[in-house]
A and B are shown apart, each in its own frame.
Chain A
Amino acid sequence: MADPATSVLVLGAGGLGCEILKNLAFQGVPTIHVVDMDIIELSNLNRQFLFEEKDIGQPKAVIAARYINEKHLIGLGDRPVCVTAHFQDLTLLSDSFLSQFTLIVSGLDSIQARRAINSRLVRLTFDSGYEKCIPLIDGGSDGLQGHCKVIIPGFAACYECSLATLPPENESYPLCTVANNPRLPEHVIEYLLTVQWAQEHPDRSFDYSVDEHFQWLLNRSLERAALFKIDTSKFTASFVLGVVKNIVPSVASTNAIIAAQCCNEVSKLMYNDYDIETSNNFMVYNGQDGCFTYAFVHERRPDCLVCGELT
């Protein structure tokens, strides 16, 4: 029997967050908090099912909490399922706030935010002399791929221990290619953003969300591409924005799969089914060619800067 006093903090109310909140509600977790500082956009609605078009411009956390609360679900120990929203930056949450939770589930798209929360939780375990330990379950998705990690701070591999498994954040191009021998559309955009913008607008930094800036980029892209005989038909607004924003493709089904895996781990922890030593703490998923999962135990790094013995 799971403890009706269980409380879970959900980080992010996006594609994974909506799925995680829904699962936790059906799992009967009575106390759920959600933190997110984003507002709802049209391109969220292909997967973030707690929102509708009329909610565009509203804070994700608030609308997601309202959706679930309006359903009046009954959870563990016949307590009502209640979601509390926090429309704020999660790195500013206080230790005393974090300490009230049994578990934390993250569905974030930022590596830095994950690292921040991970080191806070490891510190919490250490500072309490191993009395307090709040497991962190981390999900991530990208197109038809994703991962799920279970972090038992201070006891097993932390987020920082598996940092080396992440791909490089951005493809980088040598400056001489970008400046003198651009051959790909990406080379053109890179030059405009890193060199030409600063030359033309030394007083302002580039912001793709400002129409004027984005239009400048589109126009200059076409000019520069033509100069170097690169196919200009590639430079559609969608393509250029994809490169500038580093847009990660996202679809409902992958988010459902990864969030479900995370919440399955929540169930294991809630029902004492999880063994810190032997349970797999790292699962990768790929649905591009058939369907594939691989789960394993990621060891702690003795020299980990966050949870290693030297800290």
Chain B
Amino acid sequence: MDKFDRQVRIWGTHGQHIIETSHVCVVGSSPFAFEIVKNLALPGIGCLTMIATNSRDLEQNQFWNMKTWNVTQIDWNAEKMGSDVFWSDFELIIITTGQNDVLKVFRQIKSPPVLLCSTSGQNGFVTFLSGEPHFVVESHPEHTIPDLRLGALRSDLSQFYSEFLKNTVCISDLPFAALLYHACENVLKEKKPHQVINRHDLKDQINVLQNKVSPNTQLPNFFEALRFAHLALERTETLPENVIRCLALKDVSCQIPFNQNVQTLLRALSSFLDTPYSEGQLPLAGIIPDMESSYEMYTALRNAYSGAAENDVKIFHNLVSSEVSHIEIDQVKSFCRNCRHINVIEPIGKLGDFESVLNDETTDSTIIKNVLHSCLSEALKKEDKRRFYPCISFVAGIAAQEAIKVLTHQFLPLHNTLVYEGELGRLRSIKI
């Protein structure tokens, strides 16, 4: 079994590959910085550089296995590090200190995405700075609504359903999706043209059908049809709000290859939605939930959806290929499958913008300001250092987790600042 098996189950081998080929820089030499480095070295970040901004914490330095993790430790050098060139090799920079000479550099240069984070006493914060939007294709929603399109069936799918039912002798074993199709058809027969189906009509019709085949016992597939009746009323023609936000950002300037690829895919999506074939609908996910039914019928249904989705991928890939040549079919597949759940967040553009907000007299900005400037005041007493060590460890865990989300473009990262109050054990998300 592979060393990274337990986390590959979270972000897949493609996510792990990104992690193992990433260059990340951690600026700082406090216990907090060491904790972040540990949390990034363990999942296998390919290349880690740690820049000591003042004397290294010796206790920490000898506690961790810095050598086995292959971390490059160098000292802060304002001259060398004052230009864009030094930072351009990193995919992500994590700044763990509010030291003025460090922040001064980052106010001036154009850098890769930055997580600025720090802790003091029981408080801490993490904030995401980047000059471009951050797109996420695999947001991994834990539970999703089945992508069946029953409320607005595309012609390829309605053709499948009508033939499927024509060939069905007895409806008692039909999966619920086909039952809903059948029930809708029957309801529509009784309606005038352009009249819409309502939930009661549909449920009544399902019960009528059930009574025909099994008047005395409730069949599990009919039970599912009643339970999922709302799916047949879902208006599929309206795009989800998250997709609309992504589309609106498809032409803004981006430097990060992943974002550029997503923008290309979004432009292709726009064209796809305009094709008569798509009927204005997103590409199909091609995955259906389990449904009570005979395995033969279920297999037929599953193949219809996965076949239609494969077709979407083909058409989509042609649209992409007409613009660029480097996007591979697997990326197109992943984009089409996750299309309903793609998302984008807009980090804070510049360090200066972040700092100017801190001058507002709100609770959050006061906490952040105090944390950010704490390194300038005297160091914590030895007792407080021990007592509040877990707060350091907590925020370092959050910072590393968000770093991995930012690098892999999987799961939505912080949007755009997190404030931790250890005394209350509370983590809050704020948007600056």
Contacts and interface: CB of A to CB of B under 8 A. Distances in A.
Do they bind each other? Answer: yes
Interface of A: 1-2, 19, 22-23, 26-28, 41-43, 45-47, 49, 52, 71, 73, 75-76, 143-144, 177, 181-184, 228-230, 238, 241-242, 247-257, 259-267, 270-271, 273, 280, 283, 285, 287-293, 295
A46 B394 contact: no
Contact of B412 (A75, A76, A238, A289): A289
Interface in B1-32: 1-7, 9-10, 31
B140 interface: yes
A144 B411 contact: yes
14 contacts: A22-B393, A27-B390, A43-B1, A49-B65, A181-B294, A183-B298, A183-B299, A228-B295, A249-B10, A253-B39, A288-B142, A290-B412, A293-B425, A295-B426
Contacts of B424: 280, 295
Contact of A42 (B1, B7, B139, B386): B1
Contacts of B422: 264
A290 B397 contact: no
B401 A257 contact: yes
Contacts of B63: 22, 71, 73
B261 interface: no
Contacts of B64: 49
Nearest to B382: A28
A271 B396 contact: no
Contacts of A42: 1-3
A254 B142 CA distance: 17
B228 interface: no
B245 interface: no
Nearest to A73: B59
B372 interface: no
Contact of B390 (A75, A76, A230, A263): A263
Interface of B: 1-7, 9-10, 31, 35, 38-39, 42-44, 59, 62-65, 68, 139-142, 290-296, 298-299, 302, 383, 386-394, 396-398, 400-402, 404, 411-415, 418, 422-427, 429
A280 B389 contact: no
Contacts of A280: 424-425
Contacts of B402: 291
Contacts of B4: 43, 46
B42 A49 contact: yes
Contact of B5 (A43, A52, A144, A262): A43
Nearest to A256: B397
A45 B429 CA distance: 31
B188 to A, nearest CB: 29
Given A251-B43, A288-B140, A183 B290 contact: yes
B3 A261 contact: no
Contacts of B3: 42-43, 45-46
Contacts of B141: 289
B42 A47 contact: yes
A81 B42 CA distance: 25
B414 A250 contact: no
A27 B389 contact: yes
A145 to B, nearest CB: 9
Contacts of A76: 386
Given A181-B295, A183-B302, A290-B412, 6 more contacts: A143-B9, A143-B10, A183-B298, A229-B295, A229-B299, A253-B397
Contacts of B298: 181, 183
Contacts of B35: 256
A252 B400 contact: yes
Q: Which of B294, B383, B393 has the most CB of A within 10 A?
A: B393
B6 A43 contact: yes
A26 B408 CA distance: 32
Contact of B415 (A228, A257, A290): A290
Contacts of B139: 289
A205 B332 CA distance: 45
A83 to B, nearest CB: 13
A9 to B, nearest CB: 17
A266 B9 contact: no
Q: Which 3 residue pairs across A and B have the least CB separation, nearest first?
A: A256-B397, A260-B394, A257-B397
Contacts of B31: 26
Contacts of A264: 390-391, 394, 422, 425
A5 to B, nearest CB: 15
